[in-house]
A and B are shown apart, each in its own frame.
Chain A
């Protein structure tokens, strides 16, 4: 009962102010430099651990160091898809403009992450398996993820009416979520050439502590990068979509 009262008493409602593009635009502008700073700090620390602290692998030699980009970009490609689908779903349910813009801003980042996951995987597979590409469950489902991102971007771009584009994109994004657990569990469900998960939620990681730290730092770096670039892109999308409004005309950078 007291929860209900708190919700209506102003403290919480304050936050919903930022769901309007005109309030979010300046806030995002203030947050971007902070996320870039964190990206550089985590990136520098992560690269240092990847190349100068983590020991050489007994089986794969120095070639295993690809793991420090391959695993973080693969995690991000799946994680960003889920976040994008949640934003798209919120936009579909509540018809909020900003949610759909967030989904649109995240899609290209996720597509690049999926591409880099396949690219770094190919450059890891070639020396270790002897093949750039195999039609393995993990690789194929990750390729489908890349196509889902590209399909989302292309579908939104092909519909002129913005609201309808958002709705069609949201449905595609939500249906595509089924692919994310398939990617994640593919190494368990099928006999794959791809190795099993190096880091698991249920058992101790099967690797040296320093390797784990390198991967976590790189993942944090990419996380901060995704937020920074996502905020930059959502600001551009806000201006493009709200170009006709008074608050955009009143912005300092527009009035000059």
Chain B
């Protein structure tokens, strides 16, 4: 259907509209899992610090 890659990217003159639509979706579907993973790592780090602090307390602060 496409004779060259340039023809593919031109999208029959609709390049701006097609690629802005697909591009925005790709961006959202890439960034959302990354922010969720950052949130998960942040809470894990907080919990690790709290557990460490408790162990430190029980040992008598040495």
Chain A interface residues toward B at CB < 8 A: 51-52, 55-56, 61-63, 65-66, 69-70, 73, 108-109, 112, 115-116, 119-120, 123-124, 126-127, 225, 228-229, 232-233, 235-236, 239-240, 243, 248-249, 251, 253-256
A235 to B44 alpha-carbon distance, docked (Å): 11
Task: Say yes or no: B29 contacts A225, CB within 8 Å.
Answer: yes
Q: Which residues of A are found within 8 Å of B46, using beta-carbon distances?
A: 243
Q: Is the CB of A123 within 8 A of B17?
A: yes
Contact B8 A51 (CB under 8 A): yes
Q: How far is the CA of A10 from the CA of B55 in the complex (A)?
A: 40
Q: Is B6 an interface residue (CB 8 A)?
A: no
In the assembled complex, the CB of B6 is this many whole angstroms from the nearest CB of chain A, namely 13
- Residue of B16, B36, B48 with most partner-chain A CB within 10 A: B36
| Range, interface on chain B | 20 to 34
Contact residue among A56, A65, A120, A253 (Cβ-Cβ distance under 8 Å from B25): A120
B32 contact set on A, CB distance < 8 A = 108-109, 112, 229
Q: In the complex the two chains form, what is the Cα distance from A123 to B43 in whole Å?
A: 38
CA distance A248 to B44 in the complex (A): 10
B residues at A contact (CB < 8 Å): 1-2, 8, 11-14, 16-18, 20-22, 24-25, 28-29, 32-33, 36-37, 39-40, 43-44, 46-48, 50-51
B47 touches A243 (CB 8 A): yes
Which residues of B have CB within 8 Å of A232?
33, 36-37, 40
Residue pairs across A and B with CB atoms within 8 Å: the count is 91
Nearest A residue to B26, CB-CB = A69
A248 to B21: give the CA distance in the assembly, Å. 41
A55 contacts which chain B residues (CB < 8 A)? Answer: 1
Beta-carbon contact of B12 and A116 below 8 Å: no
Supplied contacts A229-B32, A254-B44, 14 more A-B pairs, CB within 8 Å: A52-B1, A61-B12, A62-B12, A66-B22, A69-B22, A108-B32, A115-B28, A127-B14, A235-B40, A236-B40, A248-B47, A249-B47, A253-B44, A255-B51
